[in-house]
Chains A and B, each alone.
Chain A
Amino acid sequence: MIRYLIRRIIWAFALFIVVTLISFVLFFLIPADPAKEACGKACTAPQVARVAHYLGTDRPVYTQYGKFLGRLAPISFSGGFHLKSPNLGRSFVNRRDVNTVVGQAAPETASLVFGGMVLWMLFAIPIGILSALRPRSLLDRASMTGVLIGVSAHPVWIGLILIYVFAYTFHLFPLGGYANFFGGSLTQAGGPIEWAKHLVLPWMTFAFLYTAIYVRMIRSNVMETINEDYVRTARAKGAPESRVMRSHILRNALLPIVTMLGMDVAAALGGAIFTETVFGLNGLGYTSIQSLQQYDSPTVMGIIVFATTAIIVMNLLVDLLYAWVDPRIRLT
């Protein structure tokens, strides 16, 4: 177990270096000069050069990457060995601390993703099970049609329809934006109710696609598991159907879902770009797209670092969880 964890952490570290290095080099290869943009459009060459020096973009890519890693490392050797908090640097465009930017964007994305996940699982599990129990019934056909629509429809389209109907026409929900779970002010909505109110439509949009995918997955897993020999064994023991379903079918049928869920959630934490854009949520996806358009590499790198870490951590958690629920898995 310990060896497994150590190996995983070494791998995670290697993965982290590869991902950030590739992103860094890609930024370097883009011909756009962030110094020119930061300086101003009427800047002359010497003025741009001064800004480039200020931003550090005049140095070779390996120096820039080294500085990036140095800022990120939780330890420092300058002025004696000491611990420090990792620093993602400052935006080229508005000089905000990227730590702050990510710290502000991450809760919005997390609220969207985890809330959406709860919503889509609340729908997908019952629908998936019922469809599996009664294949080709009316419910099954309806849910399969829903699945088809769900996987085909674009989140922007769904989002706009939800906004038009529920926010614009019936005023049930706000047209977009985010409210902090804690607090709020005279001019800014806040508190759990406002938070949920702002997120219902994004959750629905976000959950739409995944409900579809998970209904299909749960349905086929349950249908497969129902025919397993050990399910017959359970019935032969005289177990009631409820017990057979809960303890024997679902435990096994939902195992692969855990992995999928971990992967999907981790990927979405990197940014649910479309949903965030439609609902004006300044989450990681929206922020990364906006920063990318402005060639704001520190901000984009910050989000990449966060997303990579989130994916690595989620994968590790899923593996540990999986080993816990499935005795066949041994972490070696």
Chain B
Amino acid sequence: MPLLEVKDLKTYFSTDDGIVKAVDGVSFSIEKGQTLGIVGESGSGKSVTCLTIMGLNSKRNTISMGEALFNGEDLLTASASRLRQIRGNDIAMIFQDPMTSLNPVHSIGTQLVEAVRLHRDVTKKQARARALELLKQVGIPRAEQRIDDYPHQFSGGMRQRVMIAMALINDPDLLIADEPTTALDVTTQAQILALIERLQSDYNSAVIMITHDLGVVAEIADDVVVMYAAEVAEQGPVERIFRKPHHPYTWGLMGSLPRLDADVERLVQIQGSPPSLLHPPSGCRFHPRCPYAFDDCPRIDPPLVPVSDDPGHLQACLLDEDTKNREAARLLSGMMATEAS
């Protein structure tokens, strides 16, 4: 049994303007100790997917459907109190902006102790010892002195380390990291990713890494889900997708990877901006931005189907196999070429 199995997850928000289908039929699963990357532009539904699993969407205007089986227990139908038991204990989450994700009026020690005591019947002293241990593990220098400091006294990178410490403090089985490095500078990004990887192996946790950066996924993920406009465009083991991406959107994401030599023309670029989820495009949702779009694309909604020679690799594009092979090869050789030059 996988640690978490998400089946046909749908999350709809009702707004003044109508129903926004923020997640529209997403399925994936993750095993203990594994890392799943969810990739997509902002607004593609990757964060909402995880918030739905955590039960953190506002209840008033949200409709969730499908299943999210955590150790076989459906989180979508679990009671609020049961969810609270799971949150922060079995599943923990790290957020994008460490500057705003910590409560400014409590010391980090207080916030860490709170995290422990919400789930463990321990004394404040024990909880504090645990907090100190975690702070040291995530590499906060002089943790004994700094435990009573307030968030504003830490740098962004340090705050994210505190967030990670807070997430891991109860040995969660699953850690959801929602763009944990986006708000940080490049050097700190690498340190934080390395930290997450190291702690993952130490604690044997599963990790869902939400990112818009395929580079991050390439570095740490075992499996990857590429989301576009609330739907899955392509998903599968990371090495297969990188070896032979099937969806023009994935090509675009790969083409957007940062190049050291900015002079080289991007091989594939994604034009335009993500569609409105209130009125998504007909057929393939990517077609208005797709340079390969043809007559069928606006008419037929492509199903997510396995690649013919690779059943673990799913894709949703109407292009014929030859074109896909050709373009993927061209993209990869181009990337190779630029890297070589």
Binding site for B on A (CB under 8 A): 228-230, 232-240, 243, 247-248, 251-252, 255, 325-328
In the complex, the answer to whether B152 meets A230 with C-beta atoms within 8 Å is no
Contacts of B103 in A (CB 8 A): 230, 233-234, 247-248, 251-252
Evaluate whether A235 and B87 lie within 8 angstroms (CB atoms) in the complex, with A328-B150, A328-B152 already known. yes
Asked if residues A236 and B93 are in contact (CB atoms below 8 Å), the reply is yes
Q: Are B115 and A237 in contact (CB under 8 A)?
A: yes
| 21 residue pairs A–B, Cβ–Cβ below 8 Å | A230-B103, A230-B104, A232-B56, A233-B101, A233-B163, A233-B166, A234-B103, A236-B56, A236-B88, A237-B87, A237-B115, A238-B88, A240-B84, A247-B103, A252-B104, A325-B105, A326-B104, A326-B105, A327-B104, A327-B152, A328-B104
Task: Flag if B100 contacts A238 (CB, 8 Å).
Answer: no
Question: Is A238 in contact with B118, judged by CB distance below 8 angstroms?
Answer: yes
Name the residue on B nearest A326 (C-beta). Answer: B105
- Asked whether, in the complex, the Cβ of B102 is within 8 Å of the Cβ of A233, the reply is yes
A251 and chain B: residue at smallest CB distance:
B105
Chain B residue at minimal CB-CB distance from A226: B58
Tell me, in angstroms, the Cα distance from A232 to B48 when the chains sit together.
13
A243 CA to B105 CA, complexed, in Å = 14
Given contacts A229-B97, A232-B95, contact A238 B87 (CB under 8 A): yes
Q: When chains A and B are docked, how far (Å) is the Cα of A228 from the Cα of B99?
A: 11
Q: Given A248-B103, A328-B150, A328-B152, are A238 and B95 neighbors across the interface (CB < 8 Å)?
A: no
Q: Which residues does chain B contribute within 8 Å of A229, judged by CB atoms?
A: 95, 97, 100-101
A258 CB to closest chain B CB (Å) equals 12
Min Cβ gap A74→B in Å is 39
> In the complex, A328 Cα to B85 Cα: how many Å?
32
A248: chain B residues at CB < 8 Å are 103
- By the criterion CB–CB under 8 Å, are B56 and A239 in contact? no
Q: Which residue of B lies closest to A330 (CB)?
A: B152
Q: Assuming A237-B92, A328-B104, what are 15 further A-B pairs, CB within 8 angstroms? A: A228-B100, A229-B101, A233-B101, A233-B102, A233-B163, A235-B56, A236-B56, A237-B88, A238-B84, A238-B86, A238-B89, A239-B118, A251-B103, A326-B105, A328-B152
Contacts of A328 in B (CB 8 A): 104, 150, 152
The reply on B62 being an interface residue by CB < 8 A is no
**Known pairs A239-B114, A327-B150, A328-B152; A230 contacts B101 (CB<8 A):** yes
Residues of chain A within 8 A of B101, CB atoms compared: 229-230, 232-233
> Judging by beta carbons under 8 Å apart, are A230 and B100 in contact?
yes
* List of A residues within 8 angstroms of B85 by Cβ: 238
Within the complex, the shortest CB–CB distance from A244 to chain B, in Å, comes to 10
Give every chain B residue within 8 A of A238 (Cβ-Cβ): 84-89, 118-119
| CA gap between A306 and B48 in the complex, in Å | 57
Least CB distance from A200 to B in Å reads 36
User: B192 contacts the other chain (Cβ, under 8 Å)?
Assistant: no
- Nearest opposing residue in chain B for A227, CB measure: B58
B198 interface residue (CB < 8 Å to A): no
- Tally inter-chain residue pairs, CB-CB below 8 A: 73
List the B side residues contacting A247 at CB < 8 Å. Answer: 103, 106, 114
Q: Which residue of B lies closest to A234 (CB)?
A: B103
Considering the complex, give the chain A residue whose CB is closest to the CB of B104: A328
Whole-angstrom CA separation of A248 from B92 in the bound complex: 18
Question: Which of A228, A234, A325, A328 neighbours the largest number of chain B CB atoms within 10 Å of its CB?
Answer: A234
Minimum CB–CB distance from A177 to chain B (whole Å) comes to 44
**Bound Cα distance A166, B115 (Å):** 52
B174 CB to nearest A CB, Å: 12
Q: Which residue of A is nearest B87, CB measured? A: A238
| Interfacial chain B residues near A243, Cβ < 8 Å | 118
Q: 6 nearest interchain CB pairs?
A: A238-B88, A237-B88, A238-B87, A327-B150, A229-B100, A230-B103
- B64 to chain A minimum Cβ distance, whole angstroms, is 16
Per-residue CB contact flags for chain B residues 208-222 toward chain A (1 = under 8 Å, else 0) read: 000000000000000
Q: Which residues of A contact B204 (CB under 8 A)?
A: none
Instruction: Mark contacts of B134-154 with chain A using CB atoms, 8 A cut-off: 1 yes-contact digit, 0 otherwise.
Output: 000000000000000010100
- Measured CB to CB, the closest approach of chain B to A77, in angstroms, equals 49
Contacting residues, chain A, for B84 (C-beta < 8 A):
238-240
Residue among A236, A247, A327 with the highest chain B CB neighbour number at 10 A: A236
Beta-carbon contact of A236 and B105 below 8 Å: no
Whole-angstrom distance between the Cβ of A294 and the nearest chain B Cβ: 50
User: CA of A236 to CA of B246 in the docked complex: distance in angstroms?
Assistant: 35
When chains A and B are docked, how far (Å) is the Cα of A232 from the Cα of B51?
10
CB distance from B151 to the nearest CB of A (A): 8
Interface residue? B54 (CB, 8 A): yes
Q: B100-124: contact bitstring with A at CB < 8 Å (1 yes, 0 no)? A: 1111111100000011001100000
Instruction: Give CA–CA (A327, B104) in the complex, Å.
Output: 7
When distances are taken between beta carbons in the complex, the residues of chain B under 8 Å from A233 are 95, 101-103, 163, 166
Q: Are B105 and A252 in contact (CB under 8 A)?
A: yes
Cα distance A230–B163 in the bound complex, in angstroms: 10
A327–B106 CA distance with the chains assembled, in angstroms: 8
B124 CB to nearest A CB, Å? 15
CA distance A326 to B152 in the complex (A): 11
A231 to chain B, nearest CB (A): 8
- Across-interface contacts of A240 in B (CB, < 8 A): 84
Instruction: Kindly list chain A residues whose C-beta atoms are within 8 Å of the C-beta of B97.
Output: 229
